[in-house]
Amino acid sequence: MTVTNRFLALFSSLSLVGLPGVASAQEAPDTQALFESVNNHLDLGGQFYGYLNVKGDFASLATKAQEIYEQTAEMAEGNIPPGMDITGFLQELGLQNLEAIGLSSIKFDKGFRNRAFAAIDGERQGLLQLSGGPARPFEIGNFAPASSVLALEWDLELSGVKDLLDGIGGQLEKSMGMNPLAEALQQPVPNTTLTIEQLLASLKGTLFAYALIDDTKTLEIPDPNFPVEIPGIDFVIAHKTGKPLYAEIKSLMEANAPQEAIREEIIEGTSTLRILIPEEATLGFYAPLIQITLDSDQLVIASRPEALATMGSGDRLSSNAEFTQAANLMPKEGNMFAYASKEIYQFVDIFSKVIGEASPELGSIQAEAMSFIYGEPQSLVSVLANTPDGILADGLAPMSYKLSIAYAAVMPAVISGAVIAPMMRQFR
């Protein structure tokens, strides 16, 4: 037989061996459909694209985890309780419905648009419930002032934490005959009438927050030798359904604050709780206050009256060209929207200067790291959105997933080298 004939015979044999695999792939349209459903949420042709199909893997992984646990419990000679249902614990986390994960990064302006999508079959359970309910139109553009350097809109779902703890506690009771988590949830929050379970249940609903820079003010730092001045930062936090928490916050402050340190004012149906800062305190221009109105369930916390006044006056963030350009690239509906303007980079510079003053050598390393991680000043945006088929994370960032993975892989080696090198010199 000639070399050519031998090659053809070998190729034919390998082809026959491979045929069942090819046939299986062709006979699995559901696998292709799953890929397409993930692919529809990602960007193609960029710097990074990744896809992982985990459909059907949960059962085998749970079985293996159960085997490892039982072997470990046997070796522990009674120090680890045997018979615990590890599969049940994993099911409470809700990961059994996860089918596939996809990632993509494409270049945009000075940074990247990074997308991640988790395909979920059926209802979200366990940890996956914490992303909130159905997606809804974002409102932060009409809520925050145009000059906001930070803005956040987030659907709180901490009541889902209680459900998760209940499920895990039930598994503990099956295995150990006791449920310590149930007792923990009934513990009172100090100086309030709420239990931990009630607090988690109340922390549900839409939360808005924003921060502003006031260049006419300077944060007062206790250290007189602090190397840089930090401009004044104002903030406002609004919880749309947080009115029931007002009484608890008031009682908590009355129980812990010095006498006459707080004052409540009720004017035309609006209750305002003011925190009176003594002149010797180091909070400077801050005069925090908490406010509710009778015709609304909204609870508002502001750094000072001037910050509170920005809620209802002046241009809104939707009129800011920098914000609009970034927001137009994101989904218009979702469960979380976070925005940081280019101005936030001045605090990156401040941090680098502080490190540099403390240690010139470390400061130069810090500056290089900051330059690599944050890049040139640019808008930063993150969105989380529940979809009918999964959960989407979208955002604009200085680093792509590719660079993030590379950075995570390289930095431990760099840090290890920096630690080991001086030690090696001592042994010369």
- Structure confidence by residue, pLDDT tens digits, 282-292: 567 888 889 98
Taking the CA atoms of the chain, what radius of gyration do you get in angstroms? 28
Residues 153 and 294 in one domain: yes
Tell me the range of 8-12, 19-23, 99-103, 123-127 where mean pLDDT is highest.
99-103
Query: Rounded to whole angstroms, what are the CA distances from 249 to 35, 190, 243?
Result: 49, 11, 10
Residues 283 and 334 in one domain: yes
Q: Is residue 192 part of a domain?
A: yes
Q: Is residue 120 part of a domain?
A: no
pLDDT reported for residue 156: 84
Q: Which residues contact 273 (CB under 8 A, 6 or more apart)?
A: 246, 249, 250, 253, 262, 263, 264, 289, 290, 291
Which pLDDT band, with edges at 50, 70 and 90, does 164 fall under?
A: confident
Q: Which residues contact 90 (CB under 8 A, 6 or more apart)?
A: 58, 61, 62, 65, 96
Residues 194 and 210 in one domain: no
Bridge partners (DSSP) listed for residue 334: 136
Residues 148 and 174 in one domain: no
Residues 179 and 253 in one domain: no
Q: d(Cα 402, Cα 173) in Å, to the nearest integer?
A: 44
Q: Is residue 24 part of a domain?
A: no
Q: Is residue 419 part of a domain?
A: no
Q: Is residue 245 part of a domain?
A: yes
Does an H or E element contain 32, and which?
helix 29-39
Residues 238 and 176 in one domain: no
* Predicted confidence (pLDDT) at residue 369 exceeds the cutoff of 50: yes
* Predicted confidence (pLDDT) at residue 302 exceeds the cutoff of 60: yes
Residue 240, amino acid: K
Of the listed ranges 20-34, 270-284, 304-318, 319-333, the one predicted with least confidence: 20-34
Contact 336, 279 (CB under 8 A): no
Q: d(Cα 173, Cα 108) in Å, to the nearest integer?
A: 52
Which tokens belong to 306? 């001037």
Residues 190 and 258 in one domain: no
Does an H or E element contain 396, and which?
strand 390-397
pLDDT reported for residue 196: 85
Q: d(Cα 268, Cα 288) in Å, to the nearest integer?
A: 21
Q: Is residue 216 part of a domain?
A: yes
If one compares 327 and 175, the residue with the highest pLDDT of the two is: 327
Domain that holds residue 324: 132-158+205-341+379-391
Residues 137 and 277 in one domain: yes
* Predicted confidence (pLDDT) at residue 407 exceeds the cutoff of 60: yes
Q: d(Cα 396, Cα 105) in Å, to the nearest integer?
A: 10
If one compares 21 and 420, the residue with the highest pLDDT of the two is: 420
Which tokens belong to 246? 């007002």
Mean pLDDT of the chain: 81
pLDDT reported for residue 395: 95
pLDDT reported for residue 3: 36
Which tokens belong to 116? 């991640």
Report the pLDDT averaged over residues 21-31.
53
Report the 3 state secondary structure along 47-106.
CEEEEEECCCHHHHHHHHHHHHHHHHHHHCCCCCCCCCCHHHHHHHHCHHHEEEEEEEEE
Residues 154 and 165 in one domain: no
* Predicted confidence (pLDDT) at residue 177 exceeds the cutoff of 90: no
pTM over 0.75: yes
Report the pLDDT averaged over residues 225-230.
76
Q: d(Cα 41, Cα 35) in Å, to the nearest integer?
A: 10
pLDDT reported for residue 359: 65
Q: Is residue 237 part of a domain?
A: yes
* Predicted confidence (pLDDT) at residue 200 exceeds the cutoff of 60: yes
Of the listed ranges 142-151, 170-179, 261-270, the one predicted with least confidence: 170-179
* Predicted confidence (pLDDT) at residue 412 exceeds the cutoff of 90: no
pLDDT reported for residue 427: 52
Residues 181 and 218 in one domain: no
The total of structural domains in the chain comes to 2
pLDDT in tens, 375-392: 788 899 999 999 999 999
Report the pLDDT averaged over residues 113-127.
91
pLDDT reported for residue 143: 96
Residue 104, amino acid: S
Residues 141 and 255 in one domain: yes
Start-to-end CA span in the chain (Å): 64
Contact 220, 286 (CB under 8 A): no
* Predicted confidence (pLDDT) at residue 135 exceeds the cutoff of 50: yes
Bridge partners (DSSP) listed for residue 232: 214
* Predicted confidence (pLDDT) at residue 243 exceeds the cutoff of 90: no
pLDDT reported for residue 331: 94
Residues 185 and 272 in one domain: no
Share of the chain above pLDDT 70, in %: 81
Q: Is residue 224 part of a domain?
A: yes
Which pLDDT band, with edges at 50, 70 and 90, does 147 fall under?
A: very high
* Predicted confidence (pLDDT) at residue 215 exceeds the cutoff of 70: yes
Domain boundary among 172, 202, 232: 202
Which pLDDT band, with edges at 50, 70 and 90, does 24 fall under?
A: very low
pLDDT reported for residue 8: 34
Q: d(Cα 37, Cα 51) in Å, to the nearest integer?
A: 11
* Predicted confidence (pLDDT) at residue 162 exceeds the cutoff of 70: yes
